[in-house]
Amino acid sequence: MDAPLAVKSGHQGTAMSLAPLAHVLYSRVMKHDPSDPSWADRDRFVLSAGHASILQYSMLFLQGYGLSIDDLKAFRQWGSATPGHPEVGHTPGVEVTTGPLGQGIANAVGLAMAERHLRARFGSDICDHHTWVIAGDGCLMEGVSHEAASFAGHQKLSRLVVVFDDNGITIDGGTGLTCSDDVAKRFESYGWSVRSLGEIGEDLDALENALLDARDSTDDRPKLLILRTKVGVPSPDWTGKHEAHGNPFTAEHVSRTKAVMGIPDEPFWAPESVVSAVRAGAARCRAEREVWSARAAGHSAWTAFVNGPSAGWIDALPVFERGESIATRVAIQKAFDAVLADVPGLLSGSADLTGNTGTKLSGQSAASPATPDGRQVYYGIREHAMGSIMVGMALHGGLLPVGGTFFVFFDYMKPPVRLAALSRAKCIFVFSHDSVGVGEDGPTHQPIEHLAALRAIPDLQVIRPCDANETSQALRAAIEHDGPTALVLSRQNLPVVSDGSAVTLGAAVLREGTDVCLVATGSEVAVALAAADRLAESGVSARVVTMPSWDRFEATRRADRARAEAILPTGMTTVSIEAGATLGWHKYADECVGIDRFGASAPGGVALANLGIEAGNVVRVVTDLLGRGASA
């Protein structure tokens, strides 16, 4: 109560009702060691109901994860270690970034998938832990939880335990306003083991027994424990009322609640005797962690695995001959296969488009209850869950998840892509069928604004290669990057016109010229080259620049402006060419050849030509631009 009161912001109601549960999890049940928050075989805890972040921060303070009383006092403030919602990498002990409801439970499915995969490959003496989740009504209402729960049940992720805080409250009021689901039957139908705990939220021993029963069960299904609670307990004013959810209590409300609890009416009261006792108890797993560390150090296969790609993996990347014609979605599959043995943590999957997106790994078994070490993941038609599960896998550690779908369906997985970037989760998102070149499927399947949307996400590496060699080097960039990467790939065959080196700096000159610069990405680089040939016939010298990655080029410009200028001179008349929205291109170009409308059903070449993505239209634009007196 004190932290939201101090800053007049936050959600205390759920945190209050779940404090006993969180205490039991951290102090009696979970395998963890606050002195080593990154212990690879620790249990993972996910507060999917991330708005109740003060609950987790309070536990991390008490357990000794490095948070202080001053950190709690700085709750939700600029630069504090206790932001409004839990953020991985920001606060020790936080495993995933939660807040957008449903993401946490889906991330947890990824954590559990990673644990099972690593246990199957290295044995339970190296990997043997559980994933614990606290989720609320909002988490289960969001659609991503349906997708993720269905996948988890099918995969029989028995080490996943979700406690559903069934408090019947949302911001607008009781859940009866909007929802009449039978949550137990729903999860049973997904293949989960479901147990209703009743109103035992204040009974520490009963909570412990229920959690241990779930942990030690031989049932091979994921577990859902339904705990009936009253939000805001034990407040004499707001217990069980929806106002307790998001409105900070007043000082009077806090005082009256502390009187009920029998504790002093002073802010941030934390007796040294209590804190010391809790922290002493938190050391209960330290000896186990030390024994594990010694055992893991002597496990050569595990040591090699955690050290990352094998030496020489870059040399394994395929090189394609100029003049070949190959779709970049096909090239990425060849690149994956080439490095698979050298990048042992790579797992690849797709949202029911495995063969179409280049994410099929040759000779690999499907991840399943029967083959938990399989490196091919079939997510089904669940883009949203796929992205969120990938984030969980990546943040677990040890794995490099790849997931593919058609580019237009980025719409369905934008939330986890954004959270991957916020979390620095090392995922590779493969988006194929990247333009109106998709063809007859028409405007519902033809991405227009999607590149602009991807590029707007901070800390997301976006690469749209022009050919197979740039695709091969794009995979290298993704593996070497310390965060997520989106690879945007073509359906149609593209000529091999580069050596792939443009990926390193974000752009490169393919053809020198002095009168005009044509800068393009992806399939439109070939259009730019064809336009340059036609312009040369009329005496116009056109430079052609391939620019597979805006963000990498901007990094080059920040590091070495002269080098960037040598590639894309700011003083040269420039025309951009890209089969998508022109939003953002005016940063680099005087005129933009793009598509600022929805597409149309037609063969891919016909759609591209009619929408102006062809050499003749580029020549007309350049001729008009130069004719208007633009400086060459």
Residue 444 pLDDT more than 50?
yes
pLDDT of residue 630: 59
**Pair 323, 260 in one domain:** no
**Pair 328, 219 in one domain:** no
**Pair 491, 508 in one domain:** no
Question: What are 8-17's pLDDT values in tens digits?
Answer: 999 999 999 9
**What is the CATH number for 376?**
3.40.50.970
Closest listed residue to residue 219, CA positions, set 159, 162, 133, 164: 159
Closest listed residue to residue 525, CA positions, set 568, 581, 475, 464: 464
Q: For residue 604, is it within any domain?
A: yes
**Pair 148, 245 in one domain:** yes
Compute the distance between CA of residue 430 and CA of residue 579 in angstroms, rounded to an integer. 18
Its sign, for the CA torsion 404, 406, 412, 416, is positive
pLDDT of residue 631: 44
Region 121-135: mean pLDDT is: 98
Compute the distance between CA of residue 347 and CA of residue 327 in angstroms, rounded to an integer. 22
Q: For residue 515, is it within any domain?
A: yes
Query: How many domains does the chain divide into?
Result: 3
Question: What are 580-591's pLDDT values in tens digits?
Answer: 999 999 999 999
**Pair 462, 558 in one domain:** no
Confidence band, pLDDT 50/70/90 cuts, at residue 320 = very high
Confidence band, pLDDT 50/70/90 cuts, at residue 632 = very low
Question: What are 24-48's pLDDT values in tens digits?
Answer: 999 999 999 999 999 999 999 999 9
Compute the distance between CA of residue 138 and CA of residue 161 in angstroms, rounded to an integer. 18
Assess contact for 347 and 375: CB atoms under 8 A.
yes
Give Rg (Cα) of the chain: 27
Region 148-176: mean pLDDT is: 96
**Percent of the chain surpassing pLDDT 90:** 97
Compute the distance between CA of residue 134 and CA of residue 32 in angstroms, rounded to an integer. 17
Q: For residue 308, is it within any domain?
A: no
Residue 85 pLDDT more than 50?
yes
The values of phi and psi at residue 144, to 5°, are -60, -30
**Active-site entry in 142, 383, 524, 614:** 383
Question: What are 464-506's pLDDT values in tens digits?
Answer: 999 999 999 999 999 999 999 999 999 999 999 999 999 999 9
Annotation marks residue 383 as catalytic = yes
The boundaries of the domain holding residue 591 are 503-627
The mean pLDDT value of the chain amounts to 97
Final residue of a structural domain among 495, 526, 560: 495
Q: For residue 301, is it within any domain?
A: no
Name the region of 496 (left: φ>0; alpha: ψ -120 to 50; beta: rest): beta
**Pair 240, 339 in one domain:** no
**What is the CATH number for 595?**
3.40.50.920
**Percent of the chain surpassing pLDDT 70:** 99
**Pair 527, 472 in one domain:** no
Final residue of a structural domain among 442, 471, 495: 495
CB within 8 Å of 174: residues ≥ 6 apart: 168, 242
Region 605-611: mean pLDDT is: 97
**Pair 320, 183 in one domain:** no
Compute the distance between CA of residue 564 and CA of residue 107 in angstroms, rounded to an integer. 39
Q: For residue 116, is it within any domain?
A: yes
Q: For residue 632, is it within any domain?
A: no
Residue 629 pLDDT more than 70?
no
Residue 418 pLDDT more than 70?
yes
Q: For residue 305, is it within any domain?
A: no
Q: What is the pTM of this model?
A: 0.97
Q: For residue 299, is it within any domain?
A: no
Region 412-426: mean pLDDT is: 98
**Pair 39, 170 in one domain:** yes
